[in-house]
Chains A and B, each alone.
Chain A
């Protein structure tokens, strides 16, 4: 028996050793900092099953099964410890008395619960067969083993009880109700037969159990080890952090990931830890609009290459169209029960396409990128006209000599896109109503570089970032506010990697605070509104409540969409897709406005200029113009500023700029025209 157990354990360890060797085909990456915190995360997320339970149906069956199975494992371990260590060595028996009664009852019921949980999972996988759920040969092995282990467990118990408790101590047998039930079927057998049947069954149960241990590494069962390990090795940096590239090191031959060796060990490990639960796939805006990207398939493809011919070119294997289809919306990572990091992998693949091959998802993207390089904005508009939108607003309370209260990083859309310029003006109006002095960088502001970075163009991103950081520092700004979640993420998190260390905030939280602190007075008027969570404000930055609070304060009655908050559905513009035409599949944005229209609300609020542009466009193409309007939260709030506010006068003929350009020496209002 011990030899068998050692063999099974050895088989398990050897299997994992071989897999770890494959993980090591990836580059080094340090995920061993903050060990206590990591241990806590691993323990918490594993035992609570919190990530599995994000999808209630199958999540509940899985969790119930997990908890019950864990109890059975612990119980078996206790029996093992008593029978093989404490009893023979010290004659110490702890499985006795009332504790044993409880122990017996708990394990017996756990067996039943595990069987029921497993049954639920079996019915789902093999009878209901939800679309997208792939079943491979190893899944049959894993499920068969689990079922037979549980069944033989009850048989062993029942036969034992038929010979012992049931005839001798029926009161005790009541503490093993299932075993009691099974055992009664065997009470007709004579004690000798029972003993040999029990021994045979015990061996079958043992062999099955050891077989289970042996096949863990080579079947989906390895997630028993890999998923807790994934929780332990989770990325502790702020969500959305991408690795920077050393642009000074000219010995580097490869940027981004062309092969598995260009990824990190964690990426290969991720692929091996994927349990094919397809939760990412069914939430992927690209996949559900019939594009060739499945985040699950992409991760599995990486695994296939890593465990097969690891020289294979990854973008070829996965398909360039799939790699370009990602909107980096992060729905996949948010839902993944195993904490697979999909987006960083996709950006690494894009870095190979962009930086090594000069590839683009389309000619229009190439034009936009080249425009951004030359003009600092993807539209190719003259950089000198960047602050034109600000002319004609009223002047703020003059505080010459001091830097403005906030530096408003306007972003390309609010600077140049006529529709989004209204958002910029609304934001400034709210600030002025609250007595907040607003500065802008004016002509020295450039694209923040976010779309380019997500397309893999780290080089141009870095040039833009460097110029912006220099301009921001030269402006003397002490805090920054953006109206664009993409600028917000980039300045608040990505520029920090490059040395910018100022507080950065999105207008949604800034305006909400002005309203809450009653620094602006609103005249609410009641309206029904549904709010579209921008991926980069919601999932990336966990800002869900503030924009809704601002809408409510304006008189809005919130009607939520089917997919909202953390489960929000992308507008299709993230990941640099704002620059690209959507040629494959159906329109992501159309899908989203249909969800918005289904709420019955006539107003769709957003907090992102990309969402605004995409959703507004989709409303036109889906013929919903009569039913639905899109407005930015700041526009909705600005409209309800009390008329008495001192600065209510956009377009009233004043020619003073509403904001101060702080690019060239702060404090002096600059007149343009």
Chain B
């Protein structure tokens, strides 16, 4: 999404007015994967979708319900943007008491803060196994076989049993577009609202001190001459001043 971000008065987040919000892309893979597992295992599987944030996240929860989740939990927190991943993970873990869920799926990262830490921290707090950046997943008899995306295009296949936390990377699946009957059914599904104050609060481990757009770089370099000469110049600049050709 193309947007104009402006730092807020505190200089630690951006002004949210005039911005459009949607379900975090990586979370859509998590929602889809949960529904695929439910479709595989049958109607006994129950999917709860959880979001922490201001009232607008209800729209995202409704979208997840329309896709096929069974119930939603909205942890109401108008100041969620001030919380660090540790605090977010703590809130999720408080809602997902050990034993109440076999599998927790999250996005690989959020599209705003992008810490990639919440999933692993939830696993740690609950004492669950964890696989991150999952691009393929197979579930059979409590055993999960997951393909993980590693650095440099490598893939790793890991196998583990539930309970577990999975963080979902793009490529895992193609999230479905909600059908109209499901959108209508979703209006009747349970949507539990929990004020964030009702959950145990943790102290932040890291604090955002400043949020600002990158400094504007000064003008680029325009090379001139014939094309063979230009290529040579470009290669030497890339070699000397960048790591692109090393």
Contact = CB atoms under 8 A, between A and B. Distances in A.
A359 B174 CA distance: 12
Given A250-B185, A382-B1, A376 B179 contact: no
A360 B179 CA distance: 12
| Residues of B contacting A: mostly | loop
B1 A374 contact: yes
Interface in B178-233: 178-181, 183-185, 187-188
Contact of A380 (B2, B19, B187): B2
Interface string A233-262: 000000000000001001011010000000
B22 to A, nearest CB: 4
Contacts of B185: 250
Contact of B179 (A250, A355, A373): A355
Contacts of B176: 358
A385 interface: yes
Contacts of A357: 179
B197 to A, nearest CB: 30
B18 A382 contact: yes
B20 interface: yes
A252 B183 CA distance: 12
Contacts of A374: 1, 20-22
Given A250-B185, A375-B1, A382 B179 contact: no
A366 interface: yes
A247 B181 CA distance: 10
A358 B177 contact: yes
A661 B184 CA distance: 35
A381 interface: yes
A376 B187 CA distance: 22
Task: Select the residue from B2, B183, B187 with max chain A CB neighbours within 10 A.
Answer: B2
B100 interface: no
B18 A443 contact: yes
B3 interface: yes
A221 to B, nearest CB: 43
A380 B22 CA distance: 11
B241 interface: no
A459 interface: yes
B113 interface: no
Interface size class of A (residues with CB under 8 A): 20 to 34
Contacts of A359: 177
Contacts of B21: 374
A369 B1 CA distance: 13
Given A250-B184, A374-B22, A384-B19, A366 B177 contact: yes
B179 A356 contact: yes
A376 B20 contact: yes
Contacts of A250: 184-185, 187-188
Interface in A427-447: 443
A436 B237 CA distance: 57
A383 B177 contact: no
B65 to A, nearest CB: 14
A40 to B, nearest CB: 40
Contacts of A375: 1, 20
Contacts of B188: 250
A370 interface: yes
Given A250-B184, A357-B179, A384 B18 contact: yes
Contacts of A443: 18
Interface string A259-274: 0000000000000000
A369 B177 CA distance: 10
A654 to B, nearest CB: 23
A369 B185 CA distance: 21
A332 B212 CA distance: 56
Interface string A348-391: 00000001111110000010011101111001111111000000
Contacts of A358: 176-179
Most buried by B among A382, A383, A385: A382
A243 to B, nearest CB: 15
B149 to A, nearest CB: 20
Interface in B1-32: 1-4, 18-22
A366 B4 CA distance: 24
B81 to A, nearest CB: 19
B87 to A, nearest CB: 27
Nearest to A385: B4
B4 A382 contact: yes
A384 B177 CA distance: 26
Contacts of B22: 370, 373-374
A459 B20 contact: no
Interface of A: 247, 250, 252-253, 255, 355-360, 366, 369-371, 373-376, 379-385, 443, 458-459
Ranked nearest first, the 4 interchain pairs of A and B with the lowest CB-CB distance are A358-B177, A384-B18, A355-B180, A382-B3
Interface of B: 1-4, 18-22, 176-181, 183-185, 187-188
Given A250-B187, A384-B19, A385-B4, 10 more contacts: A247-B180, A250-B185, A355-B180, A356-B180, A375-B20, A379-B2, A380-B2, A382-B4, A383-B18, A384-B4
10 contacts: A247-B180, A255-B180, A360-B177, A370-B177, A374-B21, A381-B2, A384-B4, A384-B19, A385-B4, A459-B180
